Amino acid sequence: MDKFLVYGNPIAQSKSPIIHQMFAQQTKQAIHYDKCLSTSAEFEESVNKFILAGGKGANVTAPFKEQAMQMCDQLTERAKAAGAVNTLIFSERTIKGDNTDGVGLVNDLKNHQVQLTNKTILLMGAGGAARGVILPLLAENPKQIVIVNRTTEKAEQLAARFTDQKITAISYAETAKATFDVVINATSASLSANLPDLSSTCITTNTVCYDMVYGAKLSPFLNWCKKHKARLVIDGLGMLVGQAAESFYIWRNVRPQQTQVLAKLRSQLQGADK
């Protein structure tokens, strides 16, 4: 049976094993997928041991996505652009790194019938998650991608990594001067029940708001967007399932169906809150 792991710290909360087992059942693939709690000091050794033990691949979540990239012999273009890896593919003597977060986000937006072509997108955050989605968002040919971050220099540095003139950076104060078709929260603010310092005037009744964070209840950010009459609010559960589906496809060359898996996770999440 082919073995896979997800590395992270913390990792107990990870839904990746459940998702991949559901994909495996559905596509009749024989895989074993487990969680691995690691530390920065142990991460590399742990991956190497897993490869020696016959591991075929791994997912990587916070805080190891950059460290995982450093271990790779080959990187996909989207992993290079992200500067972070969430999917490792092990073959004889080589470690290949990919980043499937952006595909997960874009597919989830499409599943909600959200158009990105020729639209103005505000991307909040400049960490690994924000970096991971820029190239796949750009591939949808938006009119503009504007990056905003609490530490504005990081947004500017991130925008400067791309030669495409469509990508710019602003401060939160400047969000009062524009409106956006799609606002994506790629910050971790919702995890600590905080709200980024976004101007409510940049959201209109046509704006779609996305929070990469998900939970049993709507996040503080999505509640705030609803209050300001956003057209549609979407949490990151579909992105989670989408990035997993893309990793599964990379490893197994079979595309799993996501709808039922997403519905099951959603009901488990909501059940957990009762």
The two three-digit tokens of residue 79, written as one number: 């992993």
Per-residue interface string for the shown chain with ligand NDP, residues 2-41, x marking contact by CB under 6 A = ----------------------------------------
With respect to ligand NDP, which residue has the nearer C-beta, 2 or 156? 156
Which range binds ligand NDP by CB under 6 A, 3-11, 187-195, 199-207, 257-265? 187-195
Per-residue interface string for the shown chain with ligand NDP, residues 83-122, x marking contact by CB under 6 A = ------------------x--x------------------
The residue of the chain with the least Cβ separation from ligand NDP equals: 127
CA angle 78, 79, 84 (to 5 degrees): 140
How would you classify residue 60: left for phi > 0, otherwise alpha for psi between -120 and 50, otherwise beta?
Answer: beta
65 is catalytic: yes
CA-nearest of 79, 54, 38 to 3 is 54
Burial class (CB within 10 angstroms; exposed 0-12, middle 13-18, buried 19+) of 30: exposed
User: Strand 182-185 vs strand 208-211: parallel, antiparallel, or unpaired?
Assistant: parallel
Annotated catalytic residue: which of 65, 217, 226, 264?
65
With respect to ligand NDP, which residue has the nearer C-beta, 76 or 149? 149
Residue 236 known to bind ligand: yes
CA-nearest of 56, 61, 47 to 6 is 61
Neighbour count for residue 33 (Cβ, 10 Å): 23
CA angle 140, 144, 145 (to 5 degrees): 85
When asked if residue 233 is in the footprint of ligand NDP (CB under 6 A), the reply is no
C-alpha distances out from residue 124 to 49, 175, 218, Å: 37, 11, 18
Q: How far is the CB of 151 from ligand NDP (least distance, A)?
A: 3
Residue 214 known to bind ligand: yes
When asked if residue 136 is in the footprint of ligand NDP (CB under 6 A), the reply is no
Which range binds ligand NDP by CB under 6 A, 7-15, 50-58, 210-218, 254-262? 210-218
When asked if residue 212 is in the footprint of ligand NDP (CB under 6 A), the reply is yes
Q: How far is the CB of 130 from ligand NDP (least distance, A)?
A: 6
Active site residues: 65
Annotated binding site for NADP(+): 77, 125-129, 149-154, 212, 236
Binding site for ligand NDP (CB under 6 A): 62, 101, 104, 125-130, 149-151, 154, 186-189, 191, 194, 196, 212-214, 236, 239-240, 243
